[in-house]
Amino acid sequence: MLVPLTYNLRSLFVRRSATVLTLLGIGATVTVLTGFLALQAGFRSLYTQGGRDDVVIFMRPSSTSEGQSLFLREIADRLIKSSPEILAVGDAPPVAAMETYFAVRKQKAHGAGETNVPIRGVQPTSFQLRDGLRIVEGRELKFGSDELIVGRKLIDRMAGCNVGDVIVLNLTPFRVVGIFEGPGACESEIWTDFDRASVALNIPWANAILAKLRPGTDFKKLEERIRSDKETPAKVMTEVDYLRSQTNALGMMLGLLGSILGTVMGIAAVFTAMNTMLAALAARTHEIGILLSIGFRPFSIFVSFLFEALLLGVLGGAIGCLLALPLHGIKTGTTNWDTFTEVAFAFRITPEVLTTAVVFSLALGLLGGAIPAFRAARLAPTEALRRR
């Protein structure tokens, strides 16, 4: 027979100051961890949502990011023309775009210093290649003119990014004509005409080629053919894989920090929980003696104490999650070291984040409660009864 659960609830209530302090201690730990996971989730979701399997990116062999890749124009042209896998409808040109990707120095808003804002030189097909990109203010980019459109996330973060502002690329002034919304990290980018940017910056090349594949294309075969091409070997990745690979450096840094935090703060929280449960044990030794003498099995005592510890853990976890909830949606930004450019993202408290936090807090309770529960179960009834 198990000890009634109300016994545990009431015990927690009787020792409320210790209970509250322990809950807050576990809560603080879980808040920090949840906030951190939310940050990680926000960053990752930028790169994992919106990636498609039928859109591919061509880069130079061994490049890990489009900014590092480089194709001379004629080579890029040849690559597009010699790839029948790229979708082409009727007589229209293939759905492929040469793009340049580089960064310009820009002052952050509110005088927070300079950072590198990504600028993408695009072709008309680039718009066709990105679902869900739309102008929300101003107008579309006119090709052949020195114009820019700016991702919505940049507006508040960077100085001088509004419609009508002028951004000088090397020596040529470019005017901002529109603001766009779009999937993933492109909302942190500035877009301009590929050809005009090449002239202004004197870079006669494309960084990467983005293309849509014909339905039913065997990606493995394409990859193999492009890699072993005699004249212009290249690396081709699906957009999904490419975007995922762009989170490595920062993802590793966040992961490293997160695991150090989780482990160390977790240890401290386990100790606190254990202390509280040991104190509970000391205060209730007499009661345990009574429970044992009226016929409860040691195992029931063990379960009862463990349950109480788990309850502490899960309540603390709930407090932690609640405290972390207001973080959801708060925007922040840092440099993505894979692309070496600024990226803006928001904290995201996802169901996975909450699940991890709750499992973590349960584990804290379990680890903190195991030893006190074991000790409680081992008490001899006569000894325990003698203690007042």
Q: Is 198 in the site for other proteins (CB under 8 A)?
A: no
Pick one of 128, 232, 332, 356: the residue that binds other proteins (CB under 8 A). Answer: 332
Closest by CA position to 219, among listed 207, 231, 227: 227
CA distance 130 to 127: 5
Q: Kindly write out the interface string for residues 254-283 of this chain, putting x where it contacts other proteins by CB under 8 A and - elsewhere.
A: --xx--xx--xx-xxx-xx-xxx-xx----
Structure tokens that stand for 198 in this block: 């090449």
Q: Under the criterion CB under 8 A, does residue 322 sit at the interface with other proteins?
A: no
- Residue 155 belongs to what H/E stretch? helix 154-157
Judged by CB under 8 A, which stretch of 84-92, 143-151, 329-337, 355-363 contacts other proteins? 329-337
Query: What character string, x for contact with other proteins (CB under 8 A) and - otherwise, covers 1-30?
Result: ----------------xx--xx-xx--xx-
Separation between Cα atoms, residue 284 and residue 379, nearest integer Å:
11
Query: 227: alpha, beta or left, given left = phi > 0 and alpha = psi -120 to 50?
Result: alpha
Looking at the Cβ atoms of 57 and 169, the one nearer to other proteins is 169
b or e along 291-309 (b: 16 or more beta carbons within 10 Å of the residue's beta carbon)? bbeeebebebbbebbbbbb
Please identify, using beta-carbon distances, which residue of 11 and 65 lies nearer to other proteins. 65
CB 124 within 8 A of CB 107: no
Is residue 60 within 8 A of residue 192, CB to CB? The reply is no
Is 177 among the residues that bind other proteins (CB under 8 A)?
no
By the rule CB under 8 A, 73 interacts with other proteins: no
Residue entry with tokens 């293309």: 211
SS3 of residue 84 by DSSP: coil
Does 325 bind other proteins (CB under 8 A)? Our answer is no
Based on CB atoms, which residue is closest to other proteins, 82 or 170? 170
* Single residue of 13, 110, 202, 230 touching other proteins by CB under 8 A: 202
> Which of the residues 125 through 154 are near other proteins (CB under 8 A)?
none
Please identify, using beta-carbon distances, which residue of 65 and 125 lies nearer to other proteins. Answer: 65
Q: How many CB atoms lie within 10 A of CB 170?
A: 11
Size of residue set near other proteins by CB under 8 A: 67
* C-beta neighbour count of 160 within 10 angstroms: 13
Binding site for other proteins (CB under 8 A): 17-18, 21-22, 24-25, 28-29, 31-32, 35-36, 39, 60-65, 67-68, 70, 102-105, 108, 112-116, 119, 169-171, 201-203, 245, 248-249, 252-253, 256-257, 260-261, 264-265, 267-269, 271-272, 274-276, 278-279, 332-335, 340, 342, 388
